[in-house]
Amino acid sequence: MRDANPWARALLLIVLAAPAALPLQAGDARRGGRKIVLIAGKKSHGPGHHEYDKGARLLQACLEGSSNTRGYRTEVHTDGWPADPRALEDAATLFFYCDGSDHSEAAHPMLQPDRLSQLDRLMKKGVGLVALHYTVFVPREKAGDRFLEWLGGYFDYETGPPPQRWYSKIGTHTTRVQPGAPTHPVCRGISPFELREEYYYRMRFREGDSRRTPILTTPIPGEPEAQEVAWAVKRRDGGRGFAFTGGHFHDNWRVEGFRKLVLNALVWTAGGEVPEGGVASTIREELK
């Protein structure tokens, strides 16, 4: 039988379909969206340095308040690992901001019993991974190969010349950083900017790794060429990894380019589309 009022029927279908087209609000677990898990390690430095918890919560607030980024929900877990490890199972990407293992493997939360195996399983499922600052200090035998696969590089403190044995280096400098690959999604909206940072450089990278893209480079005094201080990889398992050796000074989150770099990386490693111009964010007064 013919529809007596086809126009009314068409209008009804449009109205019924409209709610499904509304954008998801960032951080709204009830409405779904890609889950970003932000894991902060235990505090080990003085005020303003290695503020893992504050940095993770700042990133959460920036994502949830972004004016141009939707479809993500965030969780912050402190003390280096979720109280219930099942919190990682439905994550689109994992962010680690924690101590490294050069003084003691017990200080690095990713190296504790059974955690590397859980992370390995998640990486093979295509879960993203972001590592910031001291997190990239790992032992070669126990985790070096995993970090090369998951992230593309790590801080090598074991295979250099004696007596210190550090292959990689560390130094606090004020430099001008610039995008290493302007067309990469993580570099969207990033222009060269001045930064005072405790950089890690001369990182241990896999030889001939075509997956790795330099994301941020900077000149370091005494080094003959610009150093890669942030990079990204697209893994064969479909997952994405990003590492940035900055993150020592909490005040650097005020620098828009610094903040945008990490926010872009969270969205990209979660499998999302980084907006043109990068993830927009502001720092609330109480977070400054």
- Return the CATH number at 205: 3.40.50.880
Residue 247 lies in a domain: yes
Residue 19 lies in a domain: no
Q: Which residues of the chain have pLDDT under 70?
A: 1-32, 285-288
Q: Report phi then psi at 265, rounded to 5.
A: -65, -40
Check residue 284 and give its pLDDT. 75
Residue 6 lies in a domain: no
CA distance 193 to 203: 22
The Cα angle at residue 240 between residues 238 and 243, in degrees rounded to 5: 160
CA distance 22 to 99: 40
Residues in the chain: 288
Number of CB atoms found within 10 A of residue 231's CB: 27
Residue 1 lies in a domain: no
Residue 8 lies in a domain: no
Print the domain residue range for 28: 24-287
In the chain, how many domains are there?
1
What pTM value is reported for the model?
Answer: 0.88
pLDDT digits (tens, 9 = 90+) for 67-89: 999 999 999 999 999 999 999 99
Residue 243 lies in a domain: yes
Question: The tokens of 105 are what?
Answer: 């493997």
pLDDT digits (tens, 9 = 90+) for 127-157: 999 999 999 999 999 999 999 999 999 999 9
Residue 3 lies in a domain: no
* 3-state SS assignment for residue 24: coil
Residue 136 lies in a domain: yes
Q: In the block, which residue shows the tokens 């990490």? A: 262
- The single-letter DSSP state of residue 214 is E
